[in-house]
Amino acid sequence: MGKTTGFLEYERADGPVRKEEERVRDFREFHLQLPPAAQQKQAARCMDCGIPFCQAGVTISGMMSGCPLHNLVPEINDLVYRGQMAEAYRRLSVTHSFPEFTGRVCPALCEAACTCGLHDAPVSTKENEKAVIEYAYAHGLVEEITPHTRTGKKVAVVGSGPSGLAAAQLLNRRGHLVTVYERADRPGGLLRYGIPNMKLDKALIDRRIRLMEGAGIRFAVNTDVGKDISAGELLQSSDCVLLACGASQPRDISAPGRDAAGIWFAVDFLRTVTKSLLDCGFTEYPAELAKDKDVIVIGGGDTGNDCVGTCIRLGAKSVTQLEMMPEPPADRLPSNPWPEWPRVLKTDYGQEEAIWKFGSDPRIYQMTVKEFIKDSKGNLKEAVLVSLVPETDERTGRIRMVPDEKTIRTVPAQLVLIAAGFLGSEKYVTDAFDVETDERSNVRTQAGDYCTGKSRIYAAGDMHIGQSLVVRAIAEGRNAAKAIDRALMGYTNL
C-alpha cells in the first residue's frame, strides 16, 4: 500500500502548528493541515508491511494496540497517496463514524503500532484521516443516511458523547427511531464540555449534529435521565435503552482544607470555560477564573494538560502540574516493546505553552498535595506539597507511592484543578435503572456483550469499560448498536 519505497524517500512531516505566542491569545484550533500534495507524500510512507498492526485493535499487556475501530489503514493511506480522496472517505466511513473528532483528539493508537515506527517515524495516519474527512466535508460527500423505511422500533440513547452518538448513528441508519437524551444544554458530552475548543472546535460537533438531526435523530437536551425523566418512563416509551453516560464521576483528593474555595474538579472547570465561550460566541473569555492566579493542576494526563493550556489562555500567573508517578523514559524500555503502546515521555501542547510562557516544564513528578491552606475568608491561598517515593508492598509485590515527610514545602495557590481521572458511572443513573456495577462502578455485562442483564437495557462507552479514549467509545457505541439491532430484529446487517 502506498508507494513501495515511500518510507525510504520521505521523512515524516506533521501539519503546521500555530506558534505559542499567537495561539495562547485565543481558543481557536492550532493544529493546521498540510497542503494536499504534501499529505500525499505522507500517505506514500505506508510501507506495504504485510501484517498491518495499525488496524489490529487488540489488547497487549493491558493496553490497546492498533485502531479499536479496525479502520483499514493501509487501504486508506494508499488512496490518499493516489489522490483518490473521495474513495478514501468512502473506505474510511465503512468503519468509522466520526473521523473529524479522532483526527484531532485521538492519541493515534494506529501510529503507535505502525510497522514503519519500529525503526523510523510512523506513518502520519491520524493526519491522513483528518485530511480525508475535511476533504469530504468540503466537497459535500458527508451525509447521514436517512432510511427509506422505518422499523417502528424506538431506541432511547442516554448520553450524547462519542459512544452515544455512534450508536445513534447506526441505529438510525437501520431504520429505528432514535432519541438521544443529554443532561447538558448542548449535545456532545465529553466532546463538547470535556475537551477545550482549541483542541476540538465545537463547530465541528454542531456540523455533525445538524446532519444527524436531518437524518431523523432527535436530541433531547437539558434532560437528566434519572432526575428529569424516570427510567420507567423511558422504558415504557422505548423498545430498548442504551446507557452511554460516560465515566463522569471524578476521582477526588483527600487532604485537609479540601473544602477551600478555589478547588475544582478539572472537568467542571473545563465545562464552565467552554460553556461561557459558547454562550457569548467567543466574544469574551472568562478570565476571572484564572487571571493572575497561581494554579496547580493535579494529574499528568490529557485532561491535566488541557487545564494547563486553558489556564494560560485565561492569564494565569503560574501553572504547576503535579504527577504522582515517576517521569517516563524518553525512549521505549526493553520491557515495553513494539507494538505495545509506548510508555514514554510526551510533551503536549499545554506543556509546550507553559515552557514558552514561564520558561520551564510545568510538570513535577512524584509529587502530590498534602494540605490545602485557606485564608480568613475560606479561599484557597496555599498548598502544602510532598514528594512521593516508590515502595514495594510486601504482601502484593506491587509498587506504591508513599509520602516522604522530609520534603514538605508550601507554595502559593489560589486555584487547584483536580484531574486525577474518573471512578466510573454516576450512581443515580445506575440506581435508576437498577443495573449491576462492578468494583469500579462500571455497568456490568457479560464478556463481549452489551446487555446489562436487565431486559432491554444496554450499556456502552466509558460507562461500560471505564475511562478510556474517544476512539474506543466510538467502537463501543457501534458494537452496542449491533447488539441492540440484533435483539430488536433477530439479526443485524449493521
Q: Which long-range contacts (CB under 8 A, 24 or more apart) does 251-256 make?
A: 251/418, 251/420, 251/421, 251/422, 251/423, 252/418, 252/420, 253/298, 253/368, 253/369, 253/418, 253/420, 255/369, 255/370, 255/371, 255/372, 256/371, 256/372
Residue entry with cell 443516511:
145
In a domain, 144, yes or no: no
Q: What is the pLDDT of residues 297-354, one digit of tens each?
A: 999 999 999 999 999 999 999 999 999 999 999 999 999 999 999 999 999 999 999 9
In a domain, 145, yes or no: no
Q: Are residues 185 and 281 in the same domain?
A: no
* Count of domains observed in the chain: 3
Q: Where does a domain end: 375, 395, 418?
A: 418
CATH of the domain at 386: 3.50.50.60
Cross-strand partners of 241: 156, 457
Q: Are residues 261 and 409 in the same domain?
A: yes
Q: Are residues 236 and 265 in the same domain?
A: no
pLDDT for 1 equals 62
| Among 312, 306, 292, CA closest to 412 | 292
Answer whether 352's CB lies under 8 Å from 306's CB.
Answer: no
Distance CA 235, CA 344 (A): 46
Query: Model pTM?
Result: 0.96
The 10 Å Cβ neighbour count of residue 211 is 17
- Nearest-5° Cα angle at 193, 211 to 353: 115
pLDDT for 395 equals 84
In a domain, 179, yes or no: yes
Sequence-distant (≥ 6) Cβ neighbours of residue 73 within 8 angstroms: 46, 52, 54, 55, 67, 110, 125
Answer whether 87's CB lies under 8 Å from 139's CB.
Answer: no
Q: Are residues 259 and 401 in the same domain?
A: yes
pLDDT for 187 equals 98
Q: Are residues 283 and 262 in the same domain?
A: yes
Answer whether 92's CB lies under 8 Å from 132's CB.
Answer: yes
Q: Are residues 281 and 412 in the same domain?
A: yes
Cross-strand partners of 368: 386
DSSP string, 269-331: HHHHHHHHHHHTTTSS--GGGTTT-EEEEE--SHHHHHHHHHHHHTT-SEEEEEESSPPPPSS
- Nearest-5° Cα angle at 492, 486 to 494: 125
Distance CA 386, CA 377 (A): 25
Cross-strand partners of 416: 263, 296
Sequence-distant (≥ 6) Cβ neighbours of residue 109 within 8 angstroms: 57, 64, 65, 66, 67, 68, 341, 469, 471
Tens digit of pLDDT at every position of the chain (494 positions): 678 899 999 999 999 999 999 999 999 999 999 999 999 999 999 998 989 999 999 999 989 999 999 999 999 999 999 999 999 999 999 999 999 999 999 999 999 999 999 999 999 999 999 999 999 999 999 999 999 999 999 999 999 999 999 999 999 999 999 999 999 999 999 999 999 999 999 999 999 999 999 999 999 999 999 999 999 999 999 999 999 999 989 999 999 999 999 999 999 999 999 999 999 999 999 999 999 999 999 999 999 999 999 999 999 999 999 999 999 999 999 999 999 999 999 999 999 999 999 999 999 999 999 999 999 999 999 999 999 999 988 888 888 899 999 999 999 999 999 999 998 899 999 999 999 999 889 999 988 899 999 999 999 999 999 999 999 999 999 999 999 999 999 999 99
Q: Are residues 400 and 260 in the same domain?
A: yes
Answer whether 310's CB lies under 8 Å from 286's CB.
Answer: no
Q: Are residues 17 and 114 in the same domain?
A: yes
**In this structure, are strands 249-250 and 422-424 parallel, antiparallel, or unpaired?**
antiparallel
In a domain, 26, yes or no: yes
In a domain, 332, yes or no: yes
Count the alpha carbons within 13 Å of 138 in the hemisphere toward its beta carbon: 8
Q: Where does a domain end: 138, 162, 182?
A: 138
CATH of the domain at 12: 1.10.1060.10
In a domain, 148, yes or no: no
Q: Are residues 265 and 399 in the same domain?
A: yes
Q: The C-alpha cell of 387 is what?
A: 514528594
Question: Which range marks the domain in which residue 130 is found?
Answer: 6-138
- Nearest-5° Cα angle at 74, 71 to 77: 100
Q: Are residues 316 and 390 in the same domain?
A: yes
In a domain, 149, yes or no: no
Answer whether 365's CB lies under 8 Å from 323's CB.
Answer: yes
Answer whether 394's CB lies under 8 Å from 420's CB.
Answer: no
403 by Cβ neighbours in 10 Å (0-12 / 13-18 / 19+) ranks as: middle
Q: Are residues 203 and 231 in the same domain?
A: yes
Residue entry with cell 517516563:
328
3-state secondary structure 111-175: HHCCHHHHCCCCCCHHHHHHHHHHHHHHCCCCCCCCCCCCCCCEEEEECCCHHHHHHHHHHHHHC
Q: Are residues 168 and 258 in the same domain?
A: no
Sequence-distant (≥ 6) Cβ neighbours of residue 224 within 8 angstroms: 183
The 10 Å Cβ neighbour count of residue 155 is 26
In a domain, 475, yes or no: yes
Q: Where does a domain end: 112, 138, 164?
A: 138
